[in-house]
Amino acid sequence: TALREAGYTTADINAYSRELREALMKVDPSTQIGIANSIWYRQGATIKTPFIEANRTYYDAEVEALDFASPTIVGIINGWCAQKTNNRIKEIITKVDPTSLMYLINAVYFKGTWRNPFEKDFTQEADFHRANGTPQRVQMMHQASIFKYTEDELGQYVEMDFGNDAFSMVVVLPNKGRTTRDVIAAMDGAKWEAATKRLNGELVELSLPRFKAECDYQLRNHILPDLGMRLPFSIEADFSGITDTPLFISAIIHKTFIDVNEYGAEAAAVTAVHMSFAPGPDAPKPKWIDFRVDRPFVFAIREKSTGVILFVGEIGEVKDEK
């Protein structure tokens, strides 16, 4: 919607999306990245050819017509998700409504090694204070080096590069008295862009917990409507570019996986959209910045030249199975 308001046509958006996806795949050969799309529609349904061809051409989508009443369909779709996420997300759906029209599924996978890995011998047990204030013992990684750093009224930011520096992870540690939810509520595109542009090399003593997290969300009920996306979930939605039969989005399921350790990070996400019928001076003495992540924080994995954010999340409690 925002791009259309800026004067871009559907053809412009499709072409840009293809160029961006192809560029992301090539920007760092040392980093594994996969972006996959698929369309699964009910056998016998009439789907408009331009919709199918646009998704195949611009989004490299795999398109399959399946018997939605078959007991094998759940395994087929979940198997596709597992394959595209290196088995990190093995289940996105548990059942299929035989009367539904289609599922649109997007999978993203990322695995990168730190440009400057943490020394495992420096990892020690330390306290992390959960979102509810209670402490827990975690494996805290340590590294003193030059990291890109900035700060503002919301918190401190530190950036850690992967591979050839094309991709990075930015950690946002809220200032004392603020929470991760405060940061998320106040963070918009302009504020994020301003913060990342201010990132500058500093001497940083970084302490970051080793962590792993798996989450799943139903985006229809609150998250997307709260962001202003309401019409697609109503019977007034216009999906006439897909089929002449009135449609609406009945569910959006989003699952994520993230594993951060001394060597790098691995992340995966799958989103399933379920569509149903409607009804100058001398330099100062060097000073080390203490960036100790011992309380809830926000992170984002991004491609720096385009600003594309691949994954974003908040950690309120540390889980580490190593």
pLDDT, tens only, 236-269:
888 889 988 888 888 888 999 999 999 999 999 9
Asked, for residue 142, whether it belongs to a domain, the answer is: yes
- DSSP, collapsed to helix, strand or coil, labels residue 212 as strand
* pLDDT on residue 246: 84
Cβ 209 vs Cβ 320: under 8 Å: yes
pLDDT digits (tens, 9 = 90+) for 97-134: 888 899 999 999 999 999 999 999 999 999 999 999 89
Residue with tokens 């919607």: 1
Burial annotation 55-84 (CB, 10 A radius, 16+ → b, else e): beebbebebeebebeeeebeeebbebbbeb
Instruction: Look at residue 322 and tell me if it is in a domain.
Output: no
Q: How far apart are CA 218 and CA 230, in angstroms?
A: 14
pLDDT digit string (tens) for 37-83?
Answer: 999 999 999 999 999 999 999 999 999 999 999 999 999 999 999 99
| Same domain flag for 97 and 219 | yes
Structure tokens given for 79: 């198997």
| pLDDT classification of 274: cutoffs 50, 70, 90 | confident
* Same structural domain, 45 and 108: yes
Same domain, yes or no: 166 and 301: yes
pLDDT digits (tens, 9 = 90+) for 153-210: 999 999 999 999 999 999 999 999 999 999 999 998 899 999 999 999 999 999 999 9
Residues 7 and 77 in one domain: yes
Contact call for residues 104 and 275 (beta carbons, < 8 A): yes
AA identity, residue 65: A
Name, in order, each residue with C-beta under 8 angstroms of 113's C-beta and a sequence gap of 6 or more: 30, 31, 162, 163, 263, 264
Domains identified in the chain, total number: 2
Residue 163 lies in a domain: yes
Each residue of 12-40: pLDDT tens digit? 889 999 999 999 999 999 999 999 999 99
Identify whether residues 187 and 238 lie together within a single domain.
no
61-70, 105-114, 139-148, 213-222: the lowest-pLDDT one: 213-222
Residue 226 belongs to a domain: yes
| Amino acid at site 127 | D
* Residue 282, pLDDT above cutoff 70: no
Residue 140 has pLDDT above 60, yes or no: yes
Let me know whether 266 and 305 are in one domain: no
To the nearest whole number, what is the mean pLDDT of the chain? 90
**Spatial separation of the C-alpha atoms in residues 32 and 138, rounded to whole Å:** 28
**pLDDT (average), residues 296-316:** 94
Whether residues 169 and 300 fall in one domain: yes
Report how far apart, in Å, the C-alpha atoms of 115 and of each of 20, 112, 291, 312 are. 23, 9, 18, 20
Residues 153 and 16 in one domain: no
- What confidence category does residue 281 fall into, taking pLDDT thresholds of 50, 70 and 90? very low
**What are 132's two structure tokens?**
């509810």
Residue 92 lies in a domain: yes
Do 155 and 191 fall within a single domain? yes
pLDDT of residue 227: 65
Is pLDDT of 321 > 90? no
> Any idea which residue has 């599924």 for tokens?
105
- Which domain range does residue 229 map to? 2-112+213-277
- Under DSSP, the state recorded for 117 is P
In angstroms, the Cα distances linking 205 to 119, 142, 208, 289 are 13, 7, 10, 6
Does residue 301 share a domain with residue 196?
Answer: yes
Contact call for residues 256 and 215 (beta carbons, < 8 A): yes
Residue 279 corresponds to which tokens in the numbers above?
């009804």
CATH number for position 63: 3.30.497.10
Please, which pLDDT band fits residue 280 given cuts at 50, 70 and 90? very low
Which residue type occupies 115?
Answer: R
pLDDT of residue 286: 66
Q: Give the pLDDT of residue 283.
A: 42
Same domain, 174 and 43: no
Cβ neighbour number for residue 317 with a 10 Å cutoff = 15
Closest CA to 291 of 152, 153, 143: 143
What backbone phi and psi angles, to 5 degrees, belong to 307? Answer: 80, 5
